[in-house]
Amino acid sequence: MQEALRRFRDPDLARPLLERVRHLAGRAAERLGRPPAFMEVCGTHTVAISRAGLRAALRGLVDLKSGPGCPVCVTDPAEIDAMIALARLPGVTVTTFGDMMRVPGSRGSLEEERARGADVRVVYSPADAVELAAACPERQVVFLGVGFETTAPAVALSALEAARRRLANFSVLTAHKLYPPALEALLADPEVELDGFLLPGHATTILGRRRLAFLAERYGVPAVIAGFEPVDILGALHELLAQVVAGEARVVNAYPRLVREEGNPRALAVMEAVFEPVAAAWRGLGTIPDSGLAFRPAWRELDAAARFRVEVPPSRPHPGCRCGDLMKGKAAPFDCRLFARACRPERPLGPCMVSSEGACAAYYKYERAC
């Protein structure tokens, strides 16, 4: 506990809160007959929890699981293979956020394709990809649309901008994911035992609290929308534990400085104008109805999947990699026999070790004993 407190900006403020959390965790364990299990579904929370030492400070009292919160990690292996296949096409420039570059597909990564001569470029926003398409009319510029509700509106806006400028050489390969259906899939899985969710502040800024209320109303599961400071997370855990102890279930917005009841209507409107929900494949979770985004028919000429129709053989993730189990909260990075041995940040075997928001990378950096 002392070690965790040293990592807080204001340890004197955090100490009584941490003590209250530990006390409540004991009472919740008495009620449940085991330590309560909560899942964070946001890579930024995963990193913040590891960096603050909260998992260690609550070990044995609260089981803090990392779920499907890292955008790169939830991307299905077949989607990654399709991205790599696109990069191999002549005349195509693939643009992507940096995190995607080193993610291993079945037969290499985008970084390796670039080393072999493919035109793969890191951009900081989809708007950069639109500008690249305008500057290079002789190239087909494809943006890889990866991420949750946080990034999808910006991608939709860029697609609209490309259409407005009549850029026939711009398209998007969409692998976007919507996170609430993934939570439903987890709750429907009898092998997954969860007593509450720590909900992501970023994605829920777009969605709003109301769209998450179903967790309590339909499934009787407490959930708290939390910010990213350690004290925000502790406060959210306190709320979750208080609900477990009281036998209640509510979806509480503990991040009101950014998240509103109705979310961000303008971002939702642009996302819903361009994309429609479709079934999507998630690493570890399988195919989940209405959990992905595809272009609506009116915008289908911007769809790289329809424009290029790449065929990829069945994907082959590394056989020992347990990223899929991590997404379900069925394993922790330490449970993977490759962790910190064959799989390390400088030579990752799975996306959870590549991404700065991946659980394996966070555990490697902050939670390894040596």
Closer CB to ligand SF4, 27 or 330, in the complex: 330
Assess contact for 196 and 224: CB atoms under 8 A.
Answer: yes
| Residues 191, 285: Cα–Cα separation, whole Å | 12
Give me the long-range contacts of 362-365 (CB less than 8 A, separation at least 24).
362/46, 362/47, 362/49, 362/50, 362/51, 362/66, 363/50, 363/332, 363/333, 363/334, 363/339, 364/333, 364/339, 364/340, 365/50, 365/51
Rounded least distance, CB 43 to ligand SF4, Å: 13
- Residue written as tokens 């609550």? 58
CA atoms of 35 and 171, how far apart (whole Å): 48
Residue 352 makes contact with ligand SF4 by CB under 6 A: yes
**Which residues have a Cβ under 8 Å from the Cβ of 339 and sit 6 or more positions away?**
333, 353, 360, 363, 364
Shortest Cβ 236–ligand SF4 spacing (Å):
26
70 vs 173, beta carbon nearer ligand SF4: 70
211 Cβ contact list (under 8 Å, min separation 6): 180, 263
CB of 109 to ligand SF4, least distance (A): 13
Nearer to ligand SF4, 281 or 353 (CB): 353
Beta carbon of residue 352, minimum distance to ligand SF4 (angstroms, whole number): 4
For ligand SF4, give the closer residue by CB, 302 or 336: 336
Shortest approach of ligand SF4 to residue 326 CB, angstroms?
A: 6
To the nearest whole angstrom, how small is the minimum distance from the Cβ of residue 13 to ligand SF4?
34
Other CB atoms within 10 Å distance of the CB of residue 238: 19
CB of 12 to ligand SF4, least distance (A): 36
Nearer to ligand SF4, 203 or 336 (CB): 336
Helix/strand/coil percent split, the chain, to 5: 45, 20, 35
Number of residues binding to ligand SF4, judged by CB under 6 A: 17
103-142 residues in contact with ligand SF4 (CB under 6 A) are: none
Query: Binding to ligand SF4 by residue 349, rule CB under 6 A?
Result: yes
- Residue 45 touching ligand SF4 (CB under 6 A): no
Contact between 185 and ligand SF4 per CB under 6 A? no
Q: Which stretch binds ligand SF4 (CB under 6 A): 12-20, 51-59, 251-259, 346-354?
A: 346-354
CA 129 to chain centre: 22
> Binders of ligand SF4 among 306-345, rule CB under 6 A?
318, 320-323, 326, 333, 336, 338-339, 343
Does residue 360 belong to the site contacting ligand SF4 (CB under 6 A)?
yes
Of 350, 355, 357, 362, which lies in the binding site for ligand SF4, with binding defined by CB under 6 A?
Answer: 350
Taking the complex as a whole, the smallest distance from the CB of residue 41 to ligand SF4 amounts, in Å, to 18
Alpha helix ranges (H) inside the chain:
2-6, 11-32, 43-52, 54-57, 71-74, 77-87, 110-115, 126-135, 152-164, 179-188, 201-207, 214-219, 230-246, 265-274, 304-308, 323-327, 351-354, 359-366
Site residues (vs ligand SF4, CB under 6 A): 318, 320-323, 326, 333, 336, 338-339, 343, 348-350, 352-353, 360
